Structure 1
């Protein structure tokens, strides 16, 4: 019961609790039949019916995550209402009270109805079960008032307590979900602020430093190295503006307790590293999510390796990077070049093997995946996906 939202965990707990309540009544039934009517096939048949209905009710609830209304009503009508009359018809009046577990089933049926049918359905089922207990008491000869009061109290108290427990757990689950949502939102805001600070530091160390140096007249603005540096920093500014103008970064799916970070700064670090080594990178970003810090680090390293492969093996000075977030917090990063390409099946230790081993290993370590597509003369395409 550790996974899922607060509401889902509350539902799982109530399925377990009411299931154990029913199991206790069925255990009493086995002991009672074995003691009082061991040679009566009808008694064992009634017990088997109760077990079958119970397994169906709780089996479907476990499989589907919650009680199905039709199965709850089936349980109420069969175990809570029909089986006492079946025992009276097949075994005789005294056997109903000798097998008192039959009446106890009304209590566990009312508890399942209280949580699975809503307040109106719970009230209707409680009235039906109370009426059954009263009618059986009136019809069965020799029945006693104390037994009637006990059965009526079991049905009523089971209904009320199960509903109160379910209301409380559902409320606590909603509060827990709200707290988790606020924590994710706050962590996403912190990550975006950290990314802005990283961009501010990068602007100070690159664009502002270059402009200050040119303004002071300490370098020739027309010199080729200065123009090349200005071109790289202009490309960085365009990417930065593109990120600010695009869709806001969305929270991804960081693991519990994992520090989150905006992935844009990590990708920019990889791009700037490649540009410093002379590779031109045209990058585009769209709706980047917030991801766990180790995911951002692995993506940065994988992109660096892919860009290094372009610079070293592709025979071209330009690469194209795109990164886009999905609606569910997923992220896809693609690095493409129009260089020499290679045959992935025949790679023998050059760029192809480096991509497969280094990039694939990094992505697999964070629960992601990588794909490499290439052909001689057709360039190379590396796709990184998180989660896989």
Structure 2
């Protein structure tokens, strides 16, 4: 009986780790859904309690908080202005809660019920967690339930007993703290994973390049031994015209093969997520003395080769350094320079990065040839990697440096 053939190894799918951006996206979208659901549940109570408020105040509160909830939900699902929308909701809720005692003109109409704002307290504290720093979120999460508990004891808050007011405030506080702890821990864990991925990527990139360089060196050594030395020996031993013709032909062939070997440098084939490049660019910005506004669009799901990522990173950092250096002159003249870093994913295999400022600008044609920042670090580097660079600038109109990979991504055709 013939031996059984070994089964082919089943490819193992690469597990993608959770990133900080993904944690923020999930948390914000959950906030958007919960905000709409909780708001819908309070409509009946809000309409009923509006009779206890100053005329028109109930409708105004509903319009502000429900409208803020809708804007927040739209922002979380379009991923545009999420932090601003979350912060706006948290502030609107805190102001509405603080204004509640002044808006109530008939406490008896509340019939001892809790103000309908209470049922949106957890939405507001979660919005603060999404929008603010840890310190700000902690302060908001503690302050809002305490403020509600104080209002709840008063006649304008339903005149509850101290025990009931403390119970409701503690319930809201515990929910807010649980959300705060969960989101903060997930963010910290994701940030640690992000840092580990960046470090692993850098180590892998160095190792891959060293390996590719070693393979290239072995190939060139073999070529020199097999082609160049053989040609030289043949030429030295040539005595007849036919032997000299053969040696000349071998020399031309060796020259062609050397030229081809020099034109095909080592490269790495693995892909890297565009979000990794964004994190590296954000890290590079921390070393600059001038701030940049960062805008990222369609980065999720985009992966680029390591060589393309390195070219885009180096070119973009060089452009930011140029902007930071040459804008100082403009700011010295009393002008405030705005700088932006815009990263846009193009389908699944392309990227366009723009580094723009509103500085004094310059004439690209007048840049001396010995100035290598634009010509070598940006234009030639992108061209060598299969990408493209474009510098748009005029004196007095600012500068925009655009780098794209592949070259077709400049027109959005990647």
Q: TM-score, normalised by structure 1?
A: 0.55
Structure-1 separation of matches of 2:249 and 2:152? 100
Residue 255 of structure 2 corresponds to residue 231 of structure 1: yes
Cα distance in 2 between the residues matched to 1:13 and 1:196: 42
Structure 2 equivalent of residue 117 of structure 1: 132
Q: In 2 relative to 1, CA 36–214 (structure 1 residues): closer, same or farther, beyond 3 Å?
A: closer
Change (3 A) 1:127 1:68: same
Once the two structures are superposed, the pairs formed by residues 336-375 of structure 1 within 5 Å of their partners are 368=406
- CA contact 2:141–2:176 (8 Å) conserved in 1: yes
**Structure 1 residue 92: Cα displacement:** 2.7
Give the aligned partner of residue 195 of structure 1.
Answer: 212
SS of match in other structure, 1:143: coil
Aligned CA-pair RMSD:
4.8
- 5+ residue gaps, structure 1, are 264-286, 289-294, 296-322, 335-366, 372-383
For residues 174 and 195 of structure 1, what CA distance do their matches in structure 2 show? 31
1:309-356 deviation digits (Å, cap 9, x = unpaired) = xxxxxxxxxxxxxx94339x963389xxxxxxxxxxxxxxxxxxxxxx
Q: Which position in structure 1 is the counterpart of 2:21? A: 8
Question: Aligned-pair distance for 1:152?
Answer: 1.0
Q: Return closer, same or farther for 1:72/1:234 CA change in 2, 3 Å cut-off.
A: same
Q: Give the structure 2 partner of residue 302 of structure 1.
A: none
8 Å CA contact retained: 1:12, 1:65: no
CA contact under 8 A between 2:31 and 2:123: conserved in structure 1?
yes
The match for 2:104 is 88
Native 8 Å contact 1:111 1:162 kept in 2? yes
Partner of 1:27: 40
Q: 1:23 to 1:183 in 2, by over 3 A?
A: same
Corresponding residue for 2:178? 161
Q: Give unmatched runs, 5+ long, in structure 2.
A: 1-15, 275-300, 309-313, 316-348, 350-378, 390-404
1:272-299: per-residue Cα shift (whole Å, max 9, x none)?
A: xxxxxxxxxxxxxxx89xxxxxx9xxxx
- When Rg is computed on C-alpha atoms for both structures, the one with the higher figure is 1
**1:88-132: per-residue Cα shift (whole Å, max 9, x none)?**
23x535427436432222332223223422233234434542443
Among candidates 84, 91, 115, match of residue 74 of structure 1: 91
Distance of aligned partners of 1:129 and 1:4 in 2 relative to their CA distance in 1, 3 Å threshold: same
CA distance in 2, matches of 1:120, 1:182: 28
- 1:236 Cα offset (Å): 5.2
Using a 3 Å threshold, how does the CA distance of structure 1 residues 236 and 76 change in structure 2: closer, same or farther?
A: same
Structure 1 SS opposite 2:387: strand
The 1:35–1:227 alpha-carbon spacing in structure 2 relative to 1, beyond 3 Å, is same
Question: Secondary structure of 1:331's partner?
Answer: coil
1:332 aligns with 2:387: yes
Cα distance 1:324–1:191, how it changes in 2: closer, same or farther (>3 A)? Answer: farther
> Residue 47 of structure 2 contacts residue 58 of structure 2 at CA under 8 Å; is this kept in 1?
no
Structure 1 residues 125 and 194, CA, compared in 2 at 3 Å: closer, same or farther? closer
Task: Name the SS for the 1:133 alignment partner.
Answer: helix
Change in 2 beyond 3 A, CA 1:102/1:234: closer
| Cross-structure match for 1:147 | 164
Q: Counterpart in 2 of 1:213?
A: 230
1:137–1:143 contact (8 Å) kept in structure 2 = yes
What SS class does the counterpart of residue 83 from structure 2 fall into?
coil
The structure-2 alpha-carbon separation of the partners of 1:251 and 1:68, relative to structure 1 and needing over 3 Å to count, comes to: farther
Count of residues in Structure 1 that have an aligned counterpart in Structure 2: 278
User: Which secondary structure does the structure 1 equivalent of 2:27 belong to?
Assistant: helix
